[in-house]
Amino acid sequence: FEMHVTVKDTSRNILDYEVLTELDKMDSYLKREYGVGGMISVLTAIKSANQSSWLGLVDKYELPALEDYGKFEKGFNRMIRKYKRSLNDSTVKTPANSDIISTYLDTSLSIARVTGRMGDWGSKHIFQLNDNLAAFYKDSINNDLIDYTLTGTAHLIDKNNSRLSGNMMIGLLIA
């Protein structure tokens, strides 16, 4: 499973608390209703950092409270600034854990990637899950703040197979 999330409101970025709150809703939905496991995203990193700050308490694997979030945002922004400098200056050491930036964020902080694992449930079932996800997004997510696009190899193969089947049927009907 792969998803591309874009911040639509240009006055905000992925690390804004309101954006992360919407991502957290999507994250919960994808785990609970869509069946995505082993998800990784910038939200995962923030939840893990929050859990670590609570000495690893399992129930603290969550988005930190708004009043606590500032220290996490400040740390991530510092790491991102250092990462950007390291891209342009070979004398600047790449920060630890910068793979979360290079893999799951763009340097403008307007685009994020979400990945996870799913079983192979067949195209018909996945298309229904995609429709349900679109309805959830429309009804439960602040559409003015973020948008999403399903991406990844599995999604492209499903779309391609669907078109291939339709074109093959048209070809057989014409022949």
Check if the beta carbon of residue 110 is closer than 8 Å to that of residue 7.
yes
- Spatial separation of the C-alpha atoms in residues 61 and 50, rounded to whole Å: 7
Closest C-alpha among 165, 82, 158 to residue 126: 158
Kindly report the three-state secondary structure assignment for every residue of 71-104: HHHHHHHHHHHHHHHHHHCCCCCCCCCCHHHHHH
Q: Given the structure tokens 């950007």, which residue do they identify?
A: 84
Mean of the per-residue pLDDT values of the chain? 86
Kindly report the three-state secondary structure assignment for every residue of 141-157: CCCCCEEEEEECHHHHH
Q: What is the mean pLDDT of residues 2-24?
A: 95
Closest C-alpha among 146, 139, 109 to residue 5: 146
Give the single-character DSSP code of 58.
G
Share of the chain above pLDDT 90, in %: 51
- Spatial separation of the C-alpha atoms in residues 80 and 94, rounded to whole Å: 10
Q: What is the mean pLDDT of residues 7-12?
A: 94
Q: Which residue has better confidence, 168 or 131?
A: 131
Name the burial class of residue 91, with classes exposed (0-12), middle (13-18) and buried (19+) by CB atoms within 10 angstroms of its CB.
Answer: exposed
User: The whole model's pTM is what?
Assistant: 0.80
> How much helix, strand and coil, in percent to the nearest 5, is found in the chain?
60, 15, 30
Q: Over the stretch 55-112, which tens digit does the pLDDT of each residue have?
A: 999 999 999 999 999 988 888 888 888 888 887 777 877 766 667 777 888 888 899 9
Q: Given pLDDT bands bounded at 50, 70 and 90, which one contains residue 163? A: low
N-to-C CA span, the chain: 38
Check if the beta carbon of residue 172 is closer than 8 Å to that of residue 27.
no
pLDDT at 17: 95
Predicted confidence (pLDDT) at residue 164 exceeds the cutoff of 80: no
pLDDT at 89: 78
